[in-house]
């Protein structure tokens, strides 16, 4: 794949997935107010990556697809070739940069605007952190654009370096704020409103709440009665079954 070998992609993908999962859990811990790391075994990181990373990769895939479609519409021409074929290169350059600049400006402002709304009580913490999930990467891209305004600083950059400088920090920022958003609402990624009934060997039993994590040695639940996070040793769990919602009580 161009500059990338299968070995390169495998090494980058494995390392990035682990680091992103650590940052995701760091954000989740900060949002939930509980340090989750003592309960995670090494295998749990791999299992958790399988659960949450596909949603991020889906967004990355959509972005890549949009880039492919755009390249096809422009017949694969480079930026220099497009400008050279224009009667007014300066106007064409400004017109092509305008959508990107507007999108970036809106993305940067989403976080601060929602921070004001949060102070006014209009939005909740999860919505605030989802807004910063957008603004964080936009701020990084804005920083890169500012850095590149000095040509000599980036004249030796290869395509690989551009991709890494753009994609890796963006993924790290998104991972942290995604975990922060989910953790601040103490919700699982899959079926966020689903509840489970957990029978345990020691009272109180059963425990009813949202199952946040099922790990090698622990089950972490947001208990419905107290609205607190409860950590249960897996050896104490007798059964775990979903609670059927009462439609009449909604």
Task: Read off the pTM.
Answer: 0.80
5-24: pLDDT as tens digits? 677 677 777 888 889 999 99
Q: Which helix (H) or strand (E) holds 198?
A: strand 196-200
Each residue of 194-205: pLDDT tens digit? 778 888 887 777
**Are residues 179 and 203 located together in one domain of the fold?**
no
Last-in-domain residue among 162, 184, 206: 184
Residues 234 and 176 in one domain: no
Residues 94 and 218 in one domain: no
The reported pLDDT for the residue numbered 189 is: 65
Please count the structural domains in the chain: 2
The region that residue 235 occupies, defined by phi over 0 for left and psi between -120 and 50 for alpha, beta otherwise, is alpha
Domain match, 141 and 241 both: no
Per residue in 148-204, pLDDT (tens digit) is: 888 888 888 887 788 888 888 999 999 999 999 998 887 766 666 677 888 888 777
In which domain, by residue range, is 238 found?
Answer: 196-249
Residue 86 to residue 234: CA distance in whole angstroms: 67
Q: Say which CATH number the domain at 229 has.
A: 2.30.30
**Radius of gyration over every alpha carbon of the chain, rounded to an integer in angstroms:** 23
Number of H helices, E strands in the chain: 7, 5
């Amino acid at each position: 794949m161009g500059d990338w070998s299968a070995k390169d992609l495998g090494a980058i993908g494995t390392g990035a997935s682990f680091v992103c999962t650590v940052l995701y859990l760091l954000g989740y811990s900060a949002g939930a107010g509980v340090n989750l790391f003592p309960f995670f075994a090494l295998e749990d990181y791999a299992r958790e990556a399988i659960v949450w990373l596909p949603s991020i990769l889906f967004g990355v895939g959509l972005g890549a697809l949009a880039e492919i479609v755009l390249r096809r519409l422009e017949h694969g021409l480079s930026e220099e070739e497009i400008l050279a074929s224009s009667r007014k290169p300066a106007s064409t350059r400004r017109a092509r940069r305008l959508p990107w600049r507007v999108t970036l400006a809106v993305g940067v402002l989403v976080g601060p605007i929602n921070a004001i709304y949060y102070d006014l009580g209009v939005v909740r913490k999860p919505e605030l952190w989802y807004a910063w999930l957008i603004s964080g990467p936009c701020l990084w891209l804005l920083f890169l654009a500012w850095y590149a305004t000095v040509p000599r600083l980036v004249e030796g950059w290869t395509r690989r370096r551009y991709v890494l400088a753009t994609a890796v920090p963006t993924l790290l920022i998104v991972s942290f704020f995604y975990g922060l958003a989910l953790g601040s609402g103490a919700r699982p990624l899959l079926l966020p409103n689903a509840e489970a009934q957990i029978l345990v060997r020691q009272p109180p039993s059963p425990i009813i709440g949202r199952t946040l994590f099922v790990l090698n040695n622990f089950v972490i639940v947001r208990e419905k009665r107290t609205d607190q996070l409860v950590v249960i040793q897996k050896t104490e769990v007798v059964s775990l079954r979903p609670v059927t919602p009462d439609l009449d009580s909604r």
